Structure 1
Amino acid sequence: MFVSRWSPIVRVSFGWLGALSLLRLSVLSAKLRTLVRVRLSTRKYPMSTFNGLPAHILLVHFIVVLAPLTAVLVTACAVWPAVRRRLVWLSLVLATVVVILTPITTDAGEWLEKRVGRNPDLNTHAHLGDTFIYFAIGLLIVAALVAVVHVREARSRALPRLLVGMVAVLTIAASVAATVQVYRIGESGSRSVWHDVSGRSARTQADLGDISPK
Structure 2
Amino acid sequence: MEINGLPAHPLIIHVAVVLIPIAAGLSAFYAVVPRWRWYTRWPMVGFSAGALAAVMFAYFSGKDFLESRPELEPIIQPHQERAQILFWLTIVFMGVVLISAFALGGPSAMASGRGARGRHAPLIEWTLMVMLVIFAVALILMTFQTGDAGARLVWG
Q: TM-score category by the smaller chain?
A: 0.7 to 0.9
Q: 5+ residue gaps in structure 1?
A: 1-47, 196-214
Q: Does 1:170 align with 2:123?
A: no
Does 2:83 correspond to 1:129? Answer: yes
Residue 104 of structure 1, CA deviation: 1.6
Match of 1:188 in 2: 149
> 1:79–1:168: 8 Å Cα contact kept in structure 2?
yes
For residues 185-213 of structure 1, give each alpha carbon's deviation from its aligned partner in whole angstroms, at most 9, with x where no partner exists. Answer: 00100111123xxxxxxxxxxxxxxxxxx
Cα distance in 2 for partners of 1:170, 1:130 equals 21
Which range is displaced more, 161-170 or 172-181?
161-170
Partners of 1:67 and 1:146 lie apart in 2 by 17
Q: Runs of at least 4 residues of structure 1 off by over 4 A? A: 150-153
Residue 101 of structure 2 aligns with an amino acid whose one-letter code is: A
Q: 1:144 to 1:93 in 2, by over 3 A?
A: same
Larger relative contact order, structure 1 or 2 (CA cutoff 8 Å, min sep 6): 2
**1:49-88 matches, cutoff 5 A:** 49-88=2-41
What residue number does 1:144 align with? 98
Q: Which residue of 1 aligns with 2:114?
A: none
Unpaired stretches in structure 2, ≥5 consecutive residues = 112-116
Contact 1:70 1:91 in 2 (8 A): yes
TM-score by length of 2: 0.83
Deviation at 1:150, TM superposition (A): 4.8
1:52 shift after superposition: 2.2
- Quick check: which one's helix share is greater? 1
Return the index of the structure with the highest Cα Rg: 1
* Higher alpha-carbon deviation: 184-193 or 124-133: 124-133
Shift of residue 148, structure 1, vs aligned partner: 1.2
Distance 1:53 1:116 in 2: 17
3-state SS of 1:158 partner: coil
| RMSD value, Cα | 2.1
User: 2:63, 2:103 → 1: CA distance?
Assistant: 38
For 1:194-213, what aligned pairs fall within 5 Å after superposition? 194-195=155-156
Q: What displacement does 1:119 show?
A: 6.5
For residue 135 of structure 2, what is the amino acid of its counterpart? A
Contact (CA 8 Å) 1:73, 1:87: kept in 2 or not?
yes
Alignment partner, residue 111 of structure 1: 64
Whether the 8 Å CA contact 2:59–2:87 is kept in 1: the answer is no
Counterpart contact for 1:63–1:98, Cα < 8 Å: yes
* Contact 1:77 1:146 (C-alpha < 8 Å) held by counterparts: no
- Residues 185 and 62 (structure 1 numbering): CA distance in 2 closer, same or farther, change over 3 Å? same
Name the CA distance, whole Å, in 2 between partners of 1:147 and 1:110.
Answer: 32
Instruction: Report how many aligned residue pairs link the two structures.
Output: 148
Q: Which amino acid aligns with 2:96?
A: V
The residue type paired with residue 166 of structure 1 is T
- Supply the distance in 1 between the matched residues of 2:155 and 2:74 (Cα, whole angstroms): 12
What TM-score, normalized by structure 1, do the two folds share?
0.62
